Every structure is written in C-alpha cells, then in structure tokens.
Amino acid sequence: MKHKPKITLLILVMFLIAQLIGLCLINSYEKYYGSKVNETREKAIEKGIEVVEPNVSITKEIIPEKIEIKKPLDAATITFNIMIAIVIVLFLLLLLSYIGTTTLIKIWFVTVVFICLSIALTLIFKPLFPFALFSVGGKTFSVSELAGISLGGFLTFLKFKKRNVMVHNCTELLIYPGFALIFLPLLNWMAATLLLLLISVYDVIAVWKTKHMVKLAKFQIKKLKMFTGFFIPYIRDKEIEKLKKLKKLKKTKKGRKLKVDVAVLGGGDIAFPLLFSGTLFISFGFLASLISVIFSTLGLAFLLFTAEKHKPYPAMPFITAGCLLSLAIILPIFS
C-alpha cells in the first residue's frame, strides 16, 4: 500500500467528493447557462418570477459556447488541440521552474485558482439567487456571480497567504470542477475518451520515463510552497513509535526533526475524469455519469492499495481504465 490506510481512504473520499461536486456544478451550469436554460426560464415565469438577464457576466465570457461535434474526426481534432495546449502549458511551467522564476508561476497559479473558484462558487450560489440582479452605473450583474467572485477572491487569498493544509484541500475540491467546466463545452464523450487515453500515455512517459512531472511536483512543494492537487502530509509510523518511546522514558530532544511523508494526487488526476463523466452527464444523464465516477474512484483505489511506498506512479492510466470499464457498461444501457 502506498500510504497508511486512513490516508489512502482520505484521498479516495476527497477524489469522490470532488467528482460529485463537479456533477452538481455541471447540472447547475446546464440549468442556468447551458442546454436547459430556456426550460429553467419558462418554469420561473410560470411561478411569476421576473426573468431578466444581467448585461455583464464573467461566467459567460470565460466558459465557451457549446461546440457541436458530429464526426469522429471533429472529436479527434479538438482533442489533439487541447492536448497540444496542455503540453505547451506544462512546457512553460517546466521552463519557468528551470529558470527559477517563482513569482511569475505564483501569479499564474493565483489567477487560475481565482477563476476556477469563482466559476464553481457562482454555480453553487446560482440556485439560491437564480435571477437576482445588482445594478451599478447602468451595468447589471448577477448576485450569485458577485457572491461567487467575492468568496472566490477571499478563498484564493487564504489559500496562498495562510498556507493551511485544510484550506488548501477544501479549495481543491472546488478548483477542478471549475476548471473542468471551462473545457466541458468543447468535448463530447468520444473526445473525452480520446483525451483520457492521450493523457494516460503522457502521464506514463512524464512520470516513469522523463520523470519531469515528478521534478515539477517537487519544485512546487519545495520552492513554491504549494501544490496543484490534493496534499496530505502525515507522520511516519516509525516516527510515532520513537516519540512514544521517548515519552515513556521521559526524554525529549529539542529541535528534533520528524520525518514526514506526503500523500498527493495531481490536479489533472481529478479534473480529467470529471471532464469524462461530465460529457456522459450531458449525453446520457446523471446515472451514467455516476457510474463513471464510481469506476474512476475504483481505478484510483486499485492504484493506491497496490502501489509501493515512496515510489511515484502515474495515476491517470488506472483512473482511465476505470472510466473505460464504466463506458463498456454505460453504452449498451443508455445509448
């Protein structure tokens, strides 16, 4: 087992919660911005609610319009374009980390985190204030969006200034659902499947062959004092036993350093399976996407329970295997 049983279960629970939050946010997006928006408006009008759209919406500006993918070639083209963009971004991060330009990377991370948190929180608040508006200088804004952006800014500040493990992981639960929503309109389930396969191949090469993703992760933790993904430090069992013995002998060593292990799960390992289950949600409904989430969690569980300690593993091949198994169940039933 790669980590302690409790730590392993915590990682799995956090992964599952992030996936479920993502499905809820996708449902909210579909109702208020996506394919079900007209249905939502009609129901509100029937209830006597005045429906007026804001003339300024950051969420609409950031999340692109839905792209109709009719042919397998279209799916392949857009998937390769996204993959190329991902590789370019990672190359730039590696280049900046090699140069040692930490300030620019931090600004980059802060901006991305703020945008993703704002989108996620806006969609959480949207059902509470679906059509409430706030006017300033002739411009009208959605109350839910203002609340989401304000809270997103506050949580971004806490995340990077306070450097608290609890704050870090709680915000990560929202960041990757927000990130997935930005790319979701560009994909269908076929394109998402191809993207999972390409990402899995890349993950294997980046972790086991070139090992540059391992170096990038260490750079984030040691130099930037941050990590893009779940991050759980814990004390080794041997260290706990040593402390217990010292306590019994009534001996203490001032300044004694404890050896700490760290359980991590990269942000891509959270976001990409959510993109896949999100496309299934749109194409086949909630139950199909829930099956995908369960199987992707099982794929991650298989890795964490069978992996060796202190050895890096690419998580995406295992998660992708779970997603593909779910697809083999979903297509005969729902298509």
What pLDDT score was predicted for residue 262? 84
pLDDT in tens, 2-35: 788 899 999 999 999 999 999 999 999 999 998 8
What pLDDT score was predicted for residue 282? 94
Positions in the chain whose pLDDT score sits under 50: none
Question: 319 with 295: CB under 8 angstroms?
Answer: no
- Enumerate residues 6+ apart whose C-beta is below 8 A from 60: 33
Question: 32 with 114: CB under 8 angstroms?
Answer: no
Question: 79 with 279: CB under 8 angstroms?
Answer: no
What pLDDT score was predicted for residue 276? 97
Domain span holding position 109: 5-334
What pLDDT score was predicted for residue 332? 95
**Element at 127 (helix H, strand E):** none
Q: Residue type for 70, please?
A: K
What pLDDT score was predicted for residue 30? 93
Read out DSSP for 1-67? Answer: --S-HHHHHHHHHHHHHHHHHHHHHHHHHHHHTSTTHHHHHHHHHHTT------SB-HHHHHSPPPP
The total number of structural domains that make up the chain = 1
Kindly list the distances between the CA atom of residue 221 and the CA atoms of 205, 217, 224, 229, 230, in Å, as whole numbers in the listed order: 21, 6, 6, 11, 12
Instruction: State pTM to two decimals.
Output: 0.90
Residue carrying structure tokens 């799916």? 75
Q: Indicate the SS3 state at residue 231.
A: strand
Compute, in degrees rounded to 10, the torsion defined by CA atoms 181, 186, 189, 194: -110
Distance between CA atoms of residues 21 and 31, nearest Å = 15
What pLDDT score was predicted for residue 49? 83
